[in-house]
Structure 1
Amino acid sequence: MNLSLLDWLTKDGKLLLTARMVRAFSYGFLSIVLAIYLKQIGFDDILIGVILSVTLLNSVFFTLFASFYADRFGRKKILVIYAVLMSIAGAIFLVTDNYIALIIAALIGTINVTGSETGAFLSLEQAILPQTVKKIQKRNTLFAFYNMGGTFAMSTGILLSGVPQLLQESGWSQIESFKPLFAAYIIAGLIVALLYIFLSKDIEVKNRINPKMSSIKQLSPKSRSIVAKLSGLFSLDSFAGGFVIQSIISFWFFTRFGIELTTISLIFAVAGVLTAFSYILATRIADKIGLINTMVFTHIPANILLILLAFAPTFPIALGLHLARMTLSQMDVPTRQSYIVAVVDENERTAAAGITNTSRNVTQAISPSIAGLVIQSLWLSAPFVIGGLLKITYDLGVYFNFRKVKPPEEK
């Protein structure tokens, strides 16, 4: 993405877009290799599911902390701290394969295994981004670029997930061949921290009612009602998504069809490119039919494709279904993010984004462990069916609860 062309965006906005891309690049390769790496060092499916769940619990804690205190202590300070913790977590994975140590790394860092942004960075950046737009009409477009840039970067990072296989062919041991990727994750965290350091004071919240009051307490009764309903629905969607996070899908291709890591990385890279372009399409659709309609009418077909993927008899069919699904499945992301910050006041955005994202993280932290049990005791593809049916239920809930609650520009 050529940031110089974004003349409607402030310097802070461009720094945030860059930080998102660097972070997503590292999430790309880690989301593919982590479950496979844990399998290689001897962990069974249940223990792998536990570690994946713990990485999501980290998101819950740090997102909640940001929701309560970021506007009070300073958004910039919190972002820098989170980026440093990201590097520390990568360092632990680099130097040890001790199970307890890896659990600690998953708890203190921002190890992302979902294939999309779910961590503590998202809520803060989501609240800040509208303040970096010079023209309010560009808000939807900004969230599209924010997600598109991150997805392109993640797709590029995914290509690195084939590095362990290449190193093994050059004589490296199985375990050691994964270490360079953890080193790259450390570097990415440090770069993100440096970018945040250059953010200006303009990213901090304006027009605070009481600077000593946590941001969550400043939600109006109307906003509380909206946020509560959205949080309940998002928790269902995220619980369903936990059954089909990128690490599990990667594991499924690896186990079901014996696909090599280099091929898996290419599959997810292509899927990422398709997803990235879908964000811009989602923005254009939303300008015509509205944010809620775009969220729902693109998500339901994607979830039908997810269910069909479970029954794919051959790799080519599975590949086609997966790519078709990924072309549609994330079109609700920029529209959802834009909708949340549009239907609440400016000083409520951190709390609204934090609460709704926390609701997603809490339930998503549970389902990977359940998915591990389901895979081991029922059927390798069962998580796809469970996740797809639950997601369709979520879509219907969003439509019937919020089709009449419109952002200002749609009224």
Structure 2
Amino acid sequence: MLANQPPLRHLLLPQGAAPHASAILLARSLRALVDGYMAVLLPAYLLALGLGPLQVGILATTTLLGSAAATLAVGTWAHRLRRLPLLQWAALLMAATGLGFAAFSAYWPLLLVAFIGTLNPSSGDVSVFLPLEHARLAGAATGAVRTTLFARYSVLGALCAAVGALAAALPGWLTVRTGIAPLNALRGMFLLYALVGMVVWWLYRRAPQISANEAAPAAPLGPSRAIVLRLAALFSLDSFAGGMVINTLLALWLQQRFGLSLAQAGVFFFWTGLLSAGSQLAAPRLARRIGLVNTMVFTHIPANLCLIFAALAPSLPVALALLLVRGALSQMDVPTRSAFVMAAVTPAERAAAASVTAVPRSLAAALSPSLAGALYAAGWIAAPMVAGGLLKIVYDLTLWRACRQIELPEE
């Protein structure tokens, strides 16, 4: 099959995966590219508009709440609709989000666009794209190839987000080189976000349909309801903790605690993204040796300890070193978690399972940025990171205890 594929598919797809997955991987890469710089630039843009840290946190919460609502709608009704047109509509919504943020300066219109749109202030993907793409990927491979395919999905996202973080220096460069006003330079980055949304729409418009032997009829949750609800509750705890240290807030912490510039913060997120991508590439090999659940848990706990120690670090070099180690470990659970959910449910339930596990995660993650923003505004800038790290460790131990006995047919 692969011999007749274009070179791009050779680079993107693992051997044994269906050709239609290449469009998903490429679209994910482009979205991650713009998400990478948006997470860094969003607080700077909002502060430049005259907003405060608490309002930054509330807007991040609103963004995640909107993503949760859209994902819930997908989980409720997507089994009645074709996934590819839904992905095309999501891409158009992405373009409209960029235009809305570039056009508005007042707080309330921005809140509305944040709720309706696809902006992602976190290091992971919490958008409406996620359950649709996961369900389509799950039908493109089986067994170990599926885990590898999800790892490619995560790795490409991490690599492109790392490169995108470097683009956070572009507004400053434009201001120096061309004399453009800093606020207008920041608005230009939102226009670029909108343009990428249109490219993603074009990709999905040209994406091949799934062949009959690759597709499973979609259905709401049935036989797998109990395990999916258990996983959704556990993932929600992890996401609530992660919401306290999303990239937007971590960038704010670095600026307030150590005075890092946007360019310096962009370089930092570039390196953490590279480390994250490398670790996710290694995750399938580790999972084949010790299992999906063990890979999720025993790489996550050291990462969370590093997060706690970084919050209490006495100097910038120590804090950055600990955060880099965290970046090398904290995302190894991403492809393994996705593969675990898809393997633990029946093929017909995959779209619903991806949505049901994603919605509570988005809702939980939406609550904590406002809390973290309030703590920053009160001067307790280390508290969100410490609390987030401790809660994540509780999640890791609970997940291991609850899921270590679950037998997967593919393991």
Give the TM-score normalised by the residue count of structure 2.
Answer: 0.94
User: Quick check: 1:76–1:203 contact (8 Å CA) kept in 2?
Assistant: no
| 2:138 aligned with 1:138 | no
Q: CA deviation at 1:206?
A: 4.2
Aligned match of 1:119 in 118, 127, 130?
A: 127
User: Quick check: 1:59–1:120 contact (8 Å CA) kept in 2?
Assistant: yes
Q: For residue 149 of structure 1, what is the aligned residue in structure 2?
A: 156
293-302 or 175-184, which moves further after superposition? 175-184
Q: For residue 3 of structure 1, what is the aligned residue in structure 2?
A: 9
Q: For residue 4 of structure 2, what is the aligned residue in structure 1?
A: none
Q: In structure 2, give the amino acid aligned to 1:103.
A: L
User: Quick check: 1:128–1:203 contact (8 Å CA) kept in 2?
Assistant: no
Could you tell me how far apart the structure 2 residues matched to 1:181 and 1:309 are? 30
Could you tell me how far apart the structure 2 residues matched to 1:9 and 1:383 are? 41
RMSD of the TM alignment (CA)?
A: 1.6
Q: CA deviation at 1:378?
A: 4.7
Q: In structure 2, give the amino acid aligned to 1:281.
A: A
Q: In structure 2, give the amino acid aligned to 1:69.
A: W
Q: In structure 2, give the amino acid aligned to 1:390.
A: L
Could you tell me how far apart the structure 1 residues matched to 2:262 and 2:394 are? 34
Q: Secondary structure at the match of 2:118?
A: coil
User: Quick check: 2:139–2:216 contact (8 Å CA) kept in 1?
Assistant: no
Aligned match of 1:219 in 217, 222, 227?
A: 222
Q: CA deviation at 1:48?
A: 1.1
Could you tell me how far apart the structure 1 residues matched to 2:337 and 2:301 are? 15
Could you tell me how far apart the structure 2 residues matched to 1:379 and 1:255 are? 11
Q: CA deviation at 1:9?
A: 2.5
User: Quick check: 1:206–1:347 contact (8 Å CA) kept in 2?
Assistant: no
Q: In structure 1, give the amino acid aligned to 2:89.
A: I
Could you tell me how far apart the structure 2 residues matched to 1:293 and 1:63 are? 28
Could you tell me how far apart the structure 2 residues matched to 1:393 and 1:136 are? 30
Q: In structure 1, give the amino acid aligned to 2:386.
A: V
Could you tell me how far apart the structure 2 residues matched to 1:126 and 1:387 are? 26
User: Quick check: 2:139–2:215 contact (8 Å CA) kept in 1?
Assistant: no
User: Quick check: 1:46–1:369 contact (8 Å CA) kept in 2?
Assistant: yes
328-337 or 149-158, which moves further after superposition? 149-158
Matches within 5 A, 1:5-404: 5=11, 6=13, 7-133=15-141, 136-170=143-177, 171-202=179-210, 206-208=215-217, 215-216=219-220, 218-220=221-223, 223-404=224-405
User: Quick check: 1:131–1:203 contact (8 Å CA) kept in 2?
Assistant: no
Could you tell me how far apart the structure 1 residues matched to 2:144 and 2:284 are? 11
Q: CA deviation at 1:203?
A: 7.3
Could you tell me how far apart the structure 1 residues matched to 2:222 and 2:87 are? 22
Stretches of 4+ moved more than 3 A in 1?
203-208
Q: In structure 2, give the amino acid aligned to 1:163.
A: L
* Runs (5+) with no aligned partner, structure 2: 1-6
Q: CA deviation at 1:12?
A: 1.1
* Runs (5+) with no aligned partner, structure 1: none
Q: In structure 2, give the amino acid aligned to 1:294.
A: T
Q: CA deviation at 1:274?
A: 0.5
Q: CA deviation at 1:77?
A: 1.3
Per-residue CA shift, 1:218-258, capped at 9, x if unaligned? 421xx111011111111100000000000011111111111
Q: Secondary structure at the match of 1:259?
A: coil
Q: Secondary structure at the match of 2:20?
A: helix
Q: In structure 2, give the amino acid aligned to 1:262.
A: A
Could you tell me how far apart the structure 1 residues matched to 2:25 and 2:58 are? 32
User: Quick check: 2:60–2:121 contact (8 Å CA) kept in 1?
Assistant: yes
Could you tell me how far apart the structure 2 residues matched to 1:350 and 1:242 are? 24
Q: In structure 2, give the amino acid aligned to 1:188.
A: V
User: Quick check: 2:244–2:384 contact (8 Å CA) kept in 1?
Assistant: yes
Per-residue CA shift, 1:3-39, capped at 9, x if unaligned? 3243433221001000000111110110111011101
